[in-house]
Structure 1
Amino acid sequence: MAGSVASAAAAQKAAKLHSLNGLFAIYKKQGPTSADVLNTLKDKLLKEADLKQNSKKRKKQILKIGHGGTLDSSASGVLVVGIGKGTKMLGTMLAGSKKYTTVGELGKATDTLDATGTVTQEKAYDHITKEEFEEKLKKFTGNIMQVPPLYSALKKDGQRLSVLLKRGHEVEAKPARPVTVYNLSLTDFSPPLFTIDVECGGGFYVRSLVDDIGKELSSCAHVKELVRTKQGAFTLDEHVLQEDSWTIDRVAESIQECAHLLSPEPAFKKPRTDPCHTSDAGNGEAGDEKEQS
């Protein structure tokens, strides 16, 4: 009797899981890749519904799930997830605006442009003032050209550049490409550390920004901490599900609660030119995806 009741409950959970369609946001903690986090979410949902996934048959996946823009493994924050038919909506997340708060460190450059890499250069930074820093930020606001990091998920011959580098292959930098920065502000200046908020469009790398700022200040710099605080209309403070809430019922509720957020963003946002403006929420880096897994 107890077994049949349990089976019926699992069947109801499975039916509800299969009925889920839409977008919601989860919290990605520092450490795992975005792919790792997504797999953990998927495993928890399938286990709750007493279902098993056949990983060898991609076309017969019993749960369709994906994310709308990777965060570095060393970064944390908002990760938008599509489930069921919602996976077809993830493209809007890649193209939409994103907000990040990053802590950078002056005086040291690394090969990955963040704290996970090997220090490749050290330079003085005691000549840099807050006023000079804010003035230099103006150069990085608006429509600019940016060279993506070597350690990235961009591909060469079908292989991610980061993977090729880890295997010892020589990799050439990708050419500079146009990106957009809507807001950029210095919120703390305590050398060698500084904190900036950035709102940007798709394809933007915060690691490249921090590296470029260091060079512009006749020094060098790398990212120490990175948090994505907003992706599209999904914010860190209001919409993300923490890992202890990764259940079928909470995902269903979140999809419903967030449905009103999915109206299209304006096709064009005018970049601000005041670097002292503090972003209201604080992308990985909008696409700062060393792994983009």
Structure 2
Amino acid sequence: MSQQNASTQAPGQPDPGQVILIDKPLTWTSFDVANKLKYACKFKKIGHAGTLDPLATGLLILCTGKMTKQIDQYQTQEKEYTGTLVLGKTTPSVDLETAFDAEFEVSGITSQQICDAARQLTGDILQVPPIYSAVRVNGERLYEKARRGETSDQIKSRQVTVSVFEVQTDRFPEVDFRIVCSKGTYIRSLVRDLGLLLNNGAYMSGLRRTRIGNFRVEDADTIESFVARCRAVLSPPQL
């Protein structure tokens, strides 16, 4: 646990701010986590440094008080993810948030072809965000359009850096991966594009963020343990 993550200010004391590391659970949004901590721990100001999708788990950095000024600094740092993609099927969201919409034959795909496709997606690349993303087009989040069944031809590609894209194919058609990448990289787009490079389809069945800069998920709290510690400070037992 980071030293800044180790204490909670009691009511009435000045709050210089904290950097809080949380291991985000499955199905929670990043906003859900920030909202839970804000009210449970009586933080006047809190924000998170980089969204995690509801179906992803792992490291979420939150800043409170004056430390919220550091959010941009944390957002720009390198990130590491582990996860699993599955070849042979696609979904509109490229994960399990939406139902399967296409199926492909995978028997002809080799381990070498998968490794070669991952290699093509390594380095400085142009990437188009998925339609189910928080990118704004004309002031509206793309996922809001997607959930109404609408598409958009105004999604702009962006340059991102993928330093590492490792794959393990021993559980084919499930492919485990580790990715190290820059700010703004969509892992679901990498999964989608890997499927396209194989003239096939792919979706992501699991994702976990394991590192942001020098912060690691192993040093993060669960929501429950952090809230419990907050409440112990805010309402100490009566002697």
- Please say whether Structure 1 and Structure 2 have the same fold, judged by a TM-score greater than 0.5: yes
1:189 to 2:170 alignment: yes
Q: 1:32 aligns with which of 13, 24, 28?
A: 28
Q: How far did residue 157 of structure 1 move? A: 2.3
Kindly indicate whether residue 100 of structure 2 is the aligned counterpart of residue 119 of structure 1.
yes
SS in 2 for 1:219: coil
Deviations 1:63-114 (A, max 9, x none): 1100000000111000001111111101122211000011001000110011
List per-residue Cα deviations over 1:111-139 (Å, max 9, x = no partner).
00111112221111111111221122111
Instruction: Show the 5 A alignment for 1:233-244.
Output: 233-237=214-218, 239-244=219-224
Structure 2 partner of 1:42: 38
Once the two structures are superposed, residues 178-202 of structure 1 have per-residue CA deviations (whole angstroms, 9 ceiling, x without a partner) of 1001111113431220101000001
Aligned length: 223
The corresponding residue for 2:234 is none
**Secondary structure at the counterpart of residue 119 of structure 1:** coil
Alignment of 1:46-195 (within 5 A): 46=42, 63-172=44-153, 174-195=155-176
Tell me, in whole angstroms, the C-alpha distance in 2 between the residues paired with 1:170 and 1:208: 16
Gaps of 5+ in 2: 1-8, 232-239
Query: Which SS does the other structure have where 1:87 is aligned?
Result: helix
Residue 147 of structure 1 contacts residue 177 of structure 1 at CA under 8 Å; is this kept in 2? Answer: yes
CA RMSD of aligned residues (A): 1.9
CA–CA distance in structure 2, aligned partners of residues 243 and 175 of structure 1: 36
Q: Report what 1:22 is aligned to.
A: 18
AA at the equivalent of 2:220? V
| One-letter code aligned to 1:229 | T
Q: 1:67 to 1:241 in 2, by over 3 A?
A: same
Q: CA deviation at 1:173?
A: 5.0
**Gap runs ≥5 in structure 1:** 1-11, 47-61, 252-293
* Rg larger in structure: 1
Shift of 1:171: 2.4
Aligned letter for 2:207? L
2:46·2:62 contact (CA, 8 Å) conserved in 1?
Answer: yes
Distance 1:216-1:168 versus aligned 2 partners, 3 A rule: closer
Question: TM-score with structure 1 length normalisation?
Answer: 0.72
Structure 1 runs (4+) greater than 3 angstroms displaced: 167-170, 247-251
Write the distance in 1 (CA, Å) between the matches of 2:15 and 2:229.
12
Distance in 2, Cα, partners of 1:36 & 1:20 = 23
Paired-residue identity, %? 33
Q: One-letter code of the match for 2:35?
A: N
